[in-house]
Chain A
Amino acid sequence: MASSPSQRFRHARPVDPTIGRKLWRNTAIGIGNLTAWASRKAGRGSGASIRGQVITRLYPMMFAELIAGRRIAAVSGTNGKTTTTHLLAAAAETAWGTRDVVTNADGANLREGIASALSQNVRAPVAILETDEQIVPDMITRGRPEVLVMLNFSRDQLDRHHEIASLGKKWRAALTDAGENGPTVVANIHDPLVTWSAEAARRVIWVDMGIGGWTADAALCPSCGAILEYDGDGSWNCPGCALGQHRADYAVRGDEVTGPDGARWTLDLQVPGRFNRGNATCALAAAIEMGIDPTVALAAMGTVRAPAGRFSIGRFGDNRARLLLAKNPAGWAESLLVMASDPVVLAIDSAIADGTDVSWLWDVEFERLAGRHVICTGPRAQDLAVRLSYAEVDHEVVDSLREAMARPYEGTVDVLATYTAFLNLCKMGGVEW
């Protein structure tokens, strides 16, 4: 960009506490860094999450203080927020330099995780932040983001998250309260709950992510409770009130993106799948809204390869495996479309981070894998095996992840996993981020 950072960011300045508090804060961050280092040494991951816990415990106003005064783009939604954050962060870093941009690239998206990321660059005037759905209202109120990307709402481990409708209500209320100080929202037109929440925003950029809808979680109008009407092409409308699908400002078909005023661009991404082209379109719209040149943004997004390990290639002895992560039925449906190898490996866990209930296996159209051989692995491999039997998909169970990955495979094998299994695979396969 033409303007120098100091000029561009003269209104964006992280809030400085008083000298005494600053000392206290810096000490907390120092101790947090030390703990993270020790945790890394002990081979327990990146240490980011322990750093977040320590600094927030020692200095409770860490999140609120570090989040204030920056130019923030927040990215939220059930699926795609990690990849979208990486795409947008790449654009921002290329435009303004890595020193002026901070992001939670590891996907730690709760208050502690965000505080941990910000503590590593307290002076950065720009923050690109993946934000958990539950934290969005707090982010809107305390962080006053410039842009908020709202991707989608779908069921995610319902044994924890009871009702997604109430989340949408909280987002809408926070946007209403923020009024003229609220963010510009970049919103997915195919999601009725996102649409209804976003309509409360000061300004909305509507995006057709080219995915149509995962409509299984959006039967009822979030505004009036009527049963929504869907067309074959995925467009929707409420027969009971004025809520309906908006005309898109940005739309993607294949790699072609159209924007306002007839603008056209071509995506050249390394992350696979149509859902990532939708994510990239949202990231592009957010980047342009923040003043980044679209050509710069597109080139930068094209360098993103494996956001927080997703789509990375792991090495397991002589095997190469592409590691895919899906956390819920909507994510599984999209990820199955990306899987190219035969056989494929599916790894199912039900630790707390995955959701202890695997009933969602029956919401995924595994019938799509018919004709291929599936290796079921992970602690809930047997639940998957039964599901595949009823889908009449050829399969076998290999309980241990390690054993499943030691099978002889020709070429790169695609492995799709739930969260805990994915982290284990990354560790085993030497994937770091």
Chain B
Amino acid sequence: MVNEPVKIVVVYQSLLGIYGDHGNGTVLTKRLVWRGIDAELVTVEPGRPVPDDGAVYLLGGGEDLAQIAAVRELKADGGLFRALDRGAVLFAVCAGYQICGRSFTVGDHDEVMEGLGLLDVTTRRGPRRAVGEILTRWERPDGSTSLITGFENHGGYTTLGPDARPFAQVELGVGNCGDGTEGAVQGRVIGSYPHGPNLPRNPALADHLLELALGTELGPLPNARISAELDELRRQRIAVARHSRNLAEDTRWLGERE
């Protein structure tokens, strides 16, 4: 077991990965490898068994029909649930976050679908689609905080039940439902709206997921150039979110195609 590579598992890339979400898997894997820890990126497609010996599992964004298919397949397969029982970490974004909840809605008639039940949250169609840069403040279990920069794009609004706590507080953007909270945490399951390459912009969160899964503290990345590059990207995105004269024009776009 000790010599096995750490498995980072991207779940159903073709169904839930339409916003480049597997980038999160690339980031986690590379951040281990660069530190000299043997790691392997595993992409599982529907119809194939989800391995239950992974360290971190990732779910991404997808369309309505894909959400329904993913819930059906994941329940039938069972691998993800066994992995979580064994202590794995799940990081789910966007549509992947929604399906982790108790229920969510799909289609023009807002049909209610049962979710995976991993997070005590429910999602219903919101008054307007949330699209644009989002900036939140994430509080770690030890009380320290970091800014999370991302891009949200969701029509569903999520409310938290008593068993889940918010993942972050919204500084700019919509987040869960406009109530100032973003995402949800319950045990080792984290759900969050900013989709796709969210971890590239937020290396501290990436390392937190890895530390949670491995139960060890990771040192700083032994690659100063990449760290500097990431700092610059964060500086740019945070500045855009905070200093745009007109958020609606510069970073958010809510209309139909011209």
Residues of chain A at the chain B interface (Cβ within 8 Å): 110, 134, 155, 158-163, 165, 215-217, 219-220, 225, 227, 329, 352, 356-357, 359-363, 382-383, 385-387, 389-391
The answer to whether B30 and A357 have CB atoms under 8 Å apart is: no
Residues of chain B at the chain A interface (Cβ within 8 Å): 14-15, 17-23, 26-27, 30, 46-47, 63-66, 68-69, 73, 129, 131-133, 151, 153, 155, 195-197, 200-201, 225-226, 229-230, 232-233, 236, 251-253, 256-258
Partner of B229, one of A161, A163, A382: A382
The answer to whether B229 and A359 have CB atoms under 8 Å apart is: no
The answer to whether A359 and B15 have CB atoms under 8 Å apart is: no
Query: With A161-B257, A356-B132, A389-B226 known to touch, is A155 a contact of B232 (CB < 8 Å)?
Result: no
Shortest C-beta distance, A292 to chain B (Å), equals 33
Shortest C-beta distance, B128 to chain A (Å), equals 13
Having A329-B20, A362-B21, A390-B30, one finds 15 other A-B pairs with CB under 8 Å, namely A163-B64, A165-B65, A219-B46, A219-B66, A227-B69, A357-B196, A359-B20, A359-B151, A359-B195, A360-B19, A361-B197, A362-B196, A386-B229, A387-B197, A387-B200
A219 to B30, CA, bound (A): 27
Chain A residues with Cβ below 8 Å from B233 are: 382-383, 385-386
Chain B residues with Cβ below 8 Å from A359 are: 19-21, 23, 151, 195-197
Chain A residues with Cβ below 8 Å from B153 are: 158-159, 357
The answer to whether A220 and B200 have CB atoms under 8 Å apart is: no
A225 to B47, CA, bound (A): 14
The answer to whether B20 and A356 have CB atoms under 8 Å apart is: no
The answer to whether B23 and A382 have CB atoms under 8 Å apart is: no
Shortest C-beta distance, B136 to chain A (Å), equals 17
A339 to B47, CA, bound (A): 36
Chain B residues with Cβ below 8 Å from A163 are: 63-64
A134 to B151, CA, bound (A): 25
Query: With A359-B23, A362-B23, A382-B236 known to touch, is A219 a contact of B200 (CB < 8 Å)?
Result: no
The answer to whether A159 and B253 have CB atoms under 8 Å apart is: yes
- Interchain Cβ contacts under 8 Å between A and B, 29 examples: A155-B18, A158-B18, A160-B257, A162-B155, A165-B65, A220-B15, A225-B69, A227-B15, A227-B47, A329-B20, A356-B251, A357-B19, A357-B196, A359-B20, A359-B21, A359-B23, A359-B196, A360-B19, A362-B21, A362-B23, A362-B26, A382-B229, A386-B230, A387-B23, A387-B200, A389-B225, A390-B26, A390-B200, A391-B26
A160 to B69, CA, bound (A): 24
Chain B residues with Cβ below 8 Å from A390 are: 23, 26-27, 30, 200
Shortest C-beta distance, B24 to chain A (Å), equals 8
The answer to whether B229 and A389 have CB atoms under 8 Å apart is: yes
The answer to whether B253 and A386 have CB atoms under 8 Å apart is: no
Chain A residues with Cβ below 8 Å from B257 are: 134, 160-161
The answer to whether B151 and A357 have CB atoms under 8 Å apart is: yes
A162 to B95, CA, bound (A): 13
A65 to B155, CA, bound (A): 37
The answer to whether B26 and A225 have CB atoms under 8 Å apart is: no
Shortest C-beta distance, B204 to chain A (Å), equals 15
A158 to B63, CA, bound (A): 11
The answer to whether B253 and A160 have CB atoms under 8 Å apart is: yes
Shortest C-beta distance, A54 to chain B (Å), equals 16
A31 to B22, CA, bound (A): 51
The answer to whether B22 and A362 have CB atoms under 8 Å apart is: yes
A160 to B201, CA, bound (A): 22
A352 to B249, CA, bound (A): 9
Chain A residues with Cβ below 8 Å from B15 are: 219-220, 227
Shortest C-beta distance, B83 to chain A (Å), equals 21
Shortest C-beta distance, B20 to chain A (Å), equals 3
A217 to B47, CA, bound (A): 17
A402 to B173, CA, bound (A): 33
The answer to whether A225 and B151 have CB atoms under 8 Å apart is: no
Shortest C-beta distance, A125 to chain B (Å), equals 31
Chain B residues with Cβ below 8 Å from A329 are: 20
Residue of A nearest to B29 (CB): A390
The answer to whether B131 and A159 have CB atoms under 8 Å apart is: yes
The answer to whether A220 and B69 have CB atoms under 8 Å apart is: yes
A159 to B196, CA, bound (A): 12
Chain B residues with Cβ below 8 Å from A386 are: 200-201, 226, 229-230, 233
The answer to whether A220 and B66 have CB atoms under 8 Å apart is: yes
Residue of B nearest to A218 (CB): B14
Chain A residues with Cβ below 8 Å from B73 are: 227
Residue of B nearest to A217 (CB): B18
Partner of A225, one of B30, B68, B196, B197: B68
Shortest C-beta distance, B117 to chain A (Å), equals 22
Chain A residues with Cβ below 8 Å from B129 are: 162
Residue of A nearest to B27 (CB): A390
The answer to whether A360 and B20 have CB atoms under 8 Å apart is: yes
A383 to B20, CA, bound (A): 13
A163 to B62, CA, bound (A): 9
Chain A residues with Cβ below 8 Å from B17 are: 216
Chain A residues with Cβ below 8 Å from B196 are: 357, 359, 362
A303 to B151, CA, bound (A): 43
Chain B residues with Cβ below 8 Å from A382 are: 229, 232-233, 236
- Give the interface centre of A227, A387, A391 by most chain B CB atoms within 10 Å: A227
Shortest C-beta distance, B247 to chain A (Å), equals 11
Shortest C-beta distance, B95 to chain A (Å), equals 12
The answer to whether A216 and B26 have CB atoms under 8 Å apart is: no
A363 to B256, CA, bound (A): 24
Shortest C-beta distance, B152 to chain A (Å), equals 9
